[in-house]
Structure formats: structure tokens, C-alpha cells
Amino acid sequence: VLVSCDETRVAEQYQDLDNGEWMVANKPSFQFDIQDTTRAYNIYCNLRNDLDYPWSRIFVTYVLSDSSGKTLSSKMVEHMLFDRNTGEPQGSSGIGDLHDHQVPLLMQFRFPSQGKFSIAFEQMMRTDTLAGIHAV
């Protein structure tokens, strides 16, 4: 998700994960265009999980790149999906036991040029099959 400072949504895309499992080899990637380099943008990773997710938190690495493949930003982020003490699900409740999370990645980010950009995500949970994640 890209949001400019005035809360105007620029792009929002999801990739559904088969059987609610995020395989370590599956690295969802998204492409988008930026035309206005005078604005600052907030970039998020949206996640959708169910109650079968086995841990309270998730670690995700993102790589933001320009059209030439040059990395503009890369970092591992941690996000709490369930309250560590009570086990109650965090995020907004969707349909049934699904919960949506908007994980902040870059706030007030300024793109260096106009053009096409991409962002890719990788789950970093030390397991090949991460159960309970339905969409990125």
C-alpha cells in the first residue's frame, strides 16, 4: 500500500496465498508507478491472518527497488498479530476469523525519480511453511 501525506491512496494490491500458507520460497512482489516526486509517501505491508497462525508476531523482510533493480530500501520488520499476554488477535477483524494488519514500512518516503517501482516481501519465521497467513 502506498499512501501520500494527504491520505490519498496511490496503490493497493494483495496476493492471496494458497491454503493460507506462506511458503518461504513465495516472495510476493508488487509493481506500481510514481509520478509525483514532490510528495512524501507512507508505505505499508498489508497482511491477512487467521487464528491458526502459531505465533504472536511475524517477521517480514521487504525490498523496495526502482525499475533498474537498484535497492532503495530494505529492512526486516516485526509486527504483533496477537497480543503477547492475552493471545487476543490484533488488527481489524474481517470475515470470520480473518484479521487484517497494516504494517508500517516507510513513513514520509520520497521517491528519487518518476517511474516504475517494485516492492517484494519475504517471511522470515524460520519455517518453510508459515500457516495462518492468507494474503500479503
The string of pLDDT tens digits covering residues 11-65 is 889 999 999 999 999 999 999 999 999 999 999 999 999 999 999 999 999 999 9
Instruction: Detail the DSSP E strand segments found in 1-136.
Output: 2-4, 9-11, 21-23, 29-34, 41-49, 57-66, 71-80, 92-93, 99-109, 115-123, 129-131, 133-135
The predicted structure's pLDDT at residue 11: 87
Residue 5 has pLDDT above 70, yes or no: no
The string of pLDDT tens digits covering residues 70-92 is 999 999 999 999 999 999 999 88
Q: What is the pTM of this model?
A: 0.91
The predicted structure's pLDDT at residue 9: 80
In the structure, what pLDDT confidence band is assigned to residue 100 with cuts at 50, 70 and 90?
Answer: very high
Nearest to 91 by CA among 61, 130, 46: 46
- What is the chain's length? 136
d(CA 126, CA 68): 30
The predicted structure's pLDDT at residue 2: 52
120 against 97, higher pLDDT:
120
In the structure, what pLDDT confidence band is assigned to residue 7 with cuts at 50, 70 and 90?
Answer: low
The predicted structure's pLDDT at residue 16: 96
Q: Are 47 and 58 in contact (CB under 8 A)?
A: yes
Residue 96 has pLDDT above 80, yes or no: no
The predicted structure's pLDDT at residue 93: 81
